[in-house]
Every structure is written in C-alpha cells, then in structure tokens.
C-alpha cells in the first residue's frame, strides 16, 4: 500500500509487514515506465529528510538518470576503491602459500612496521610521490633510531629496499586485474617502479666481514673459558655452544637454532628448514658430537627454550660480542667458515655445497652432494678454529 506525501509529488510511504519505508515513484525521462526508488525506513528518516531526498531522486529521473542504477555504480566504485593495502596484502599471502614460515613472518613484520599507516588506503591511490617519500622516511626513521654505526651500507637502506621489494611484489599481483566494469585496479600501474625510474634503488654492497685468525683465536679462548666452573662472565654455555656450531658448520642463524633432536644421529645432522627448501645433511665431528650431547634433552629442539619451544638465541651473538669486544654477526661466522675453507684450498663449488647454496649451472644438478665431499671441509674448519694438528681432536677440546 502506497500513501502519497501531501507536499512532494512522487514521494510515498510504502507499508510493509515489518517496517514502513519512504519511496519515490515516477517515470524516468526517455523511458515510459515508472521507477521505484527506496529511500529508507520511515522510523529512521524523518519527513523533512525524506522530502529532500525525494526531490533529489526526482531531479535525476527528470534528467534521464535512474537513481537505483546510479547507486549501484557508486557501490561498485566504493567496493573497487575498498581494495586497500591490507586487503591486497592478505590476498597476496593467500596466493603465496608456498612461502616459508620465516618468509611469511618477515612479510608480516616488515609490512606492519613500514606500511601500517597505509593499510586502509586504496592501493590505486598510492602515488609515485608517496613511494619516494615513504622510501626516504623508512631510511630516516631507522638512521635516527639506531645508535650503531653503519656497516657496508647506509643505515636503513636495506630495510627500505626490502620493504619496497615486498610492496612491489604485492602490487604486481594486481597489475592486470580489473573490476566488474572493466576498470583496472591499478590504472596508473605499479607506483613502486618510480624507484627504478629515478635510479633511487641503489645496489646494496655485500657485507665482507669475517673473523680474522687473531679474532678467531680470541673468540675461541673466551668461549672455552665460559665452560669453566670458576667463570663468572655473562656468556652462557648454551650461547657458547650455539656460536661454536655456527663457526664450524657455516649454518645460517635459524638453521642452527632450529635443529631438531630427531634429525641428529651419531654420524650426521640434518637441517630441514633451509633457505632453498632442500634438506642439508652434514657430518657429526667428534667436537660437535660432544656439543650435541651437552645440549640434547627431552625437548624436540637441540637448543630448547621455554614452554617446549626452540630457544630464541636472540641475545647470544650480542652477549658474546660485548663480552669479547669482537663485533660480529651470525652471518659473519658463516663467511668465516667459507673463508677458512678457501684458505685450505677447497674450491668454490665445494664451499657452495657446504653452505647449501642454490645450484646455478645445469650440469651441477647432476653432481649430488655427499658426506664424503663435505667431511674434509668441516674437518679443516674445525682444525683451524680449535688449533687441532692433523685434524685430530684433543681430548679436552670443548669438554
């Protein structure tokens, strides 16, 4: 049932079972057919607002525009603009189910840290100028916050470049997408390319730091002393063992930290969570055999922490660096292992297999890594670090 308004022709109060609603009912110019436009519930919209909205709707109909179709187009546009950075990021992560957990965690942390204030912004509104300002802002923020001197690259440059790599990958997945009306989701393309266009994304200088022989000897002595009963320094035995393992194996930080008890035998230990997703098996030397025995427990992890989780070891490198006065990172130890191997005349290919780098040459894919290839390298590294003659392990070494 329609009850006409007394003042505005074409405005009606429509009676429904649950609630009465205001409607506009009139012909659209050029179309000889009445159009009904619902304005809203009577108990929500007062008569004054209903009349104002009715006049707006009637004006559109008189000009040949259907208010219902106009509203649908606006809703589609709102939905299109609603593809904000947060939604785009979540969509990208769903598509990239193949990413390692550590990589997913890195994406989440970097995106939240660097683009958290952009999460509600429609991605099509991110401009090239926005990218330039954000790129510089990330570097500036880290440079001001950090008290440590810059190493191979200006402070904050690596973080800014990683953030932009992640954002570039996310936006690229929407580069060829269109909405229901055929409009491009990114009508102006991927704005991150401005960094390339303006040559702002400089090549990062690789870090070359490794421990020289004198530093290795001093570090070895300090770590060994930390096992003595009379030692009252800040280095914990578990931290010392963790650094020893990094020194002699060339493993990455998390590869060593997340070693599982089930993957350690008397003769080998296997890293399953590797950067290239390929299991990496290494021989257990006498020194490492004692190290593993000291740390193995009922936990599933070699280096166990609280609540059944793997220890974070987040302070291990910093504590030992401060105690010894030798500034180094976990990756510096990885470079040190590779450098020692090179000093003992092992080839780049042999060292690559020790470090479990990805193969680049097709022929190399036919040459599979064996323990026999790696054992001489790890023996030589241990001998160099521990000062062991003829690769024989002293009884008191790391007891």
On whether both 238 and 186 belong to a single domain, the answer is no
Q: Which residues contact 392 (CB under 8 A, 6 or more apart)?
A: none
What CATH number should be reported for the domain holding residue 59? 3.30.160
On whether both 68 and 131 belong to a single domain, the answer is no
Of 173, 197, 221, which marks where a domain is finished?
A: 197
For the stretch 17-32, what's the b/e string if a residue is b when 16 or more beta carbons lie within 10 angstroms of its beta carbon? eeeebbbbbbebeeee
On whether both 246 and 367 belong to a single domain, the answer is yes
Of 60, 81, 102, which marks where a domain is finished?
A: 81
On whether both 248 and 379 belong to a single domain, the answer is yes
* Other CB atoms within 10 A of residue 258 CB: 20
25 vs 37: CA distance, rounded Å: 6
**CB–CB of 381/341 below 8 Å?**
yes
On whether both 244 and 369 belong to a single domain, the answer is yes
55 vs 330: CA distance, rounded Å: 72
On whether both 94 and 239 belong to a single domain, the answer is no
For residues 112-119, give the mean pLDDT: 93
User: Where residue 394 falls among pLDDT bands split at 50, 70, 90?
Assistant: very low
Half-sphere exposure of residue 398: CA atoms within 13 angstroms, side-chain side: 29
On whether both 164 and 258 belong to a single domain, the answer is no
pLDDT digits (tens, 9 = 90+) for 218-234: 999 888 888 888 888 88
Of 41, 59, 81, which marks where a domain is finished?
A: 81
Range of the domain at 62: 2-81
On whether both 191 and 263 belong to a single domain, the answer is no
224 vs 244: CA distance, rounded Å: 10
On whether both 155 and 59 belong to a single domain, the answer is no
On whether both 301 and 345 belong to a single domain, the answer is yes
pLDDT of residue 336: 92
Domains contained in the chain, number: 3
User: Which pTM does this prediction carry?
Assistant: 0.60
**CB–CB of 256/270 below 8 Å?**
no
48 vs 7: CA distance, rounded Å: 11
Question: What is the percent of the chain with per-residue pLDDT over 90, rounded to a whole number?
Answer: 39
Residue, of 17 and 259, whose pLDDT is higher: 259
In a domain, 132, yes or no: yes
Structure letter (DSSP) for residue 188: T
């Amino acid at each position: 049932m329609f009850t006409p308004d007394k003042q505005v022709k074409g405005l009606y109060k429509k009676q429904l079972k649950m609630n009465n609603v205001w409607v506009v009912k009139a012909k659209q110019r050029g179309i000889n057919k009445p159009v009904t436009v619902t304005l809203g519930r009577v108990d929500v919209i007062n008569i004054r607002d209903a009349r104002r909205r009715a006049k707006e709707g009637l004006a559109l109909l008189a000009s040949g525009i259907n208010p219902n179709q106009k509203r649908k187009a606006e809703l589609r546009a709102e939905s299109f603009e609603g593809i904000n950075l947060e939604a785009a990021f979540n969509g990208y992560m769903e598509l990239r189910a193949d990413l390692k957990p550590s990589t997913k965690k890195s994406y989440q942390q970097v995106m939240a840290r660097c683009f958290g204030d952009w999460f509600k912004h429609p991605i099509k509104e991110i401009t090239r100028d926005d990218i330039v300002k954000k790129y510089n802002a990330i570097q500036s923020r880290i440079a001001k916050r950090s008290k440590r001197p810059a190493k191979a690259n200006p402070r904050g440059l690596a973080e800014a470049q990683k953030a932009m790599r992640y954002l570039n990958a996310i936006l690229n997945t929407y580069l060829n997408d269109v909405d229901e009306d055929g409009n491009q989701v990114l009508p102006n393309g991927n704005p991150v390319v401005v960094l390339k266009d303006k040559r702002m994304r400089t090549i990062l200088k690789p870090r070359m730091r490794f421990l020289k022989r004198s530093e290795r000897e001093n570090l070895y002595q300090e770590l060994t002393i930390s096992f003595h009963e009379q030692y009252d320094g800040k280095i914990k035995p578990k931290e010392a063992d963790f650094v020893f393992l990094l020194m002699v194996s060339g493993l990455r930080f998390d590869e060593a930290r997340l070693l599982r008890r089930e993957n350690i035998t008397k003769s080998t230990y296997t890293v399953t969570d590797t950067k290239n997703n390929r299991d990496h098996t290494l021989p257990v030397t006498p020194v490492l055999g004692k190290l593993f025995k000291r740390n193995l427990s009922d936990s599933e992890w070699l280096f166990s922490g609280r609540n059944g989780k793997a220890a974070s070891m987040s302070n291990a490198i910093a504590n030992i660096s401060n105690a010894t006065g030798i500034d180094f990172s976990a990756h510096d130890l990885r470079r040190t292992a590779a450098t020692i191997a090179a000093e003992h005349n092992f080839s780049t290919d042999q060292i690559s297999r020790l470090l479990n780098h990805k193969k680049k040459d097709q022929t190399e894919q036919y040459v599979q890594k064996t323990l026999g290839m790696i054992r001489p390298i790890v023996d030589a590294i241990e001998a160099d670090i521990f000062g062991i003659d003829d690769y024989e392990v002293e009884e008191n070494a790391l007891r």
